[in-house]
Structure 1
Amino acid sequence: MIISEVLRKRGTNVVTVATTITVGDLLNTLADLNIGCAVVSDSAGRIDGIVSERDVVRHLATDPALLEQAVATIMVTEVTTCSPGADLEDVARVMTEQRIRHIPVVEAGRLINIVSIGDVVKNRLDQLQDERDHLMNYVSTAEGLTPPR
């Protein structure tokens, strides 16, 4: 399965924040929207960085004044991205190897969406459920039984 198929189920809402907003404002945004990260972008479509709740926690431990600083001070600037045509298993492998939970999806150099580890897991669970249903139907049919509902 490719990323664009996963994203079709998910929707297209990508939260972006400016490099200049404070970390405190970022946390309010993440909490209000019940999300774990935001793409940092000062211009539509261009990715300047990415920042997650984990980034905040990591930096807050050493800098209590962090909440008043700009997001640019803690954002990750080397952002791993993928294309809409990327294979889901490859993206899952990258997330696991790099220990990241969000990968922005870029097409023609512009941000179009973001895929999360939750999207990957949900898709895999859906696949396993479909396989289970198919096998149950196959076994029931082979034995002359009615498939369970």
Structure 2
Amino acid sequence: MRVSDVLSSKGSAEVHTISPRATVRELLDVLAEHNIGALVVSDDGTTMLGIVSERDIVRKLRDVERAREATVESIMTTDVQRCRPEDPFGSLMATMTEHRVRHVPVIDDDDRLVGVLSIGDAVKHRMEQLEFERDQLSSYVSGG
């Protein structure tokens, strides 16, 4: 099982991005509009500059006056855990666990952004795997 399998099972290949010059007010609007927990920071929609998440908002804006006017660039994470489509699914889960991240951008060999996988995507995919295995074992045991 590869990261590309999880990406294709999501149903939507759309990757939401935001400019580093956008304000936190704009960031909050986009997160709420799409009901997501993080956005990739990009100038062109394909080159990743960083990622900004709900955690960044909470941790980095706690004591900032006029926090909604701050820029995304001032709170984004630039040391981003990432993966490639050909990476094993298990390594994605290990990265999320080891680095305690909830969103991992998927970058192709040309360093272009091709997707973002959330912890929810990973858990859903793993649950589907387990259900399939359970059904196969049940079928085998029952002789069907």
Bin of the TM-score, shorter chain as denominator length: over 0.9
Q: Is the 8 A contact 1:59 1:66 kept in 2?
A: no
CA distance in structure 2 between the partners assigned to 1:31 and 1:4 by the alignment: 27
TM-score calculated relative to the size of structure 2: 0.94
User: Which consecutive segments of 4 or more residues in structure 1 shift more than 4 A?
Assistant: none
Q: CA-to-partner distance for each residue in 1:91-139, whole Å, 9 max, x for gaps?
A: 1001101000111111111111111111110111001101111111111
Q: In structure 1, list runs of 5 or more residues that go unmatched.
A: 142-146
CA distance in structure 2 between the partners assigned to 1:101 and 1:138 by the alignment: 36
Give 3-state SS (helix, strand or coil) of 1:134's partner: helix
CA distance in structure 2 between the partners assigned to 1:43 and 1:131 by the alignment: 41
Structure 1 position 46 matched with structure 2 position 47: yes
User: Where does residue 77 of structure 1 map in the other structure?
Assistant: 78
TM-score calculated relative to the size of structure 1: 0.91
CA distance in structure 2 between the partners assigned to 1:37 and 1:94 by the alignment: 17
Query: What residue identity is the alignment partner of 1:63?
Result: V
User: Where does residue 144 of structure 1 map in the other structure?
Assistant: none
CA distance in structure 2 between the partners assigned to 1:61 and 1:70 by the alignment: 14
CA distance in structure 2 between the partners assigned to 1:138 and 1:83 by the alignment: 35
Q: Is the 8 A contact 2:103 2:119 kept in 1?
A: yes
Cα distance, 1:37 vs. partner?
Answer: 0.3
Structure 1 position 116 matched with structure 2 position 118: yes
RMSD: 1.1
Give 3-state SS (helix, strand or coil) of 1:14's partner: coil
CA distance in structure 1 between the partners assigned to 2:7 and 2:45 by the alignment: 20
Q: CA-to-partner distance for each residue in 1:61-119, whole Å, 9 max, x for gaps?
A: 22142111110000001111111001110010011010001111111111111111111
Number of equivalent positions? 142
User: Where does residue 141 of structure 2 map in the other structure?
Assistant: 139
Cα distance, 1:43 vs. partner?
Answer: 2.4
Q: Is the 8 A contact 2:38 2:103 kept in 1?
A: yes
Identity %: 44
Q: Is the 8 A contact 2:17 2:45 kept in 1?
A: no
Q: Which has the larger radius of gyration?
A: 1
Cα distance, 1:18 vs. partner?
Answer: 0.3
CA distance in structure 2 between the partners assigned to 1:88 and 1:110 by the alignment: 20
Q: In structure 2, list runs of 5 or more residues that go unmatched.
A: none
CA distance in structure 2 between the partners assigned to 1:127 and 1:67 by the alignment: 41
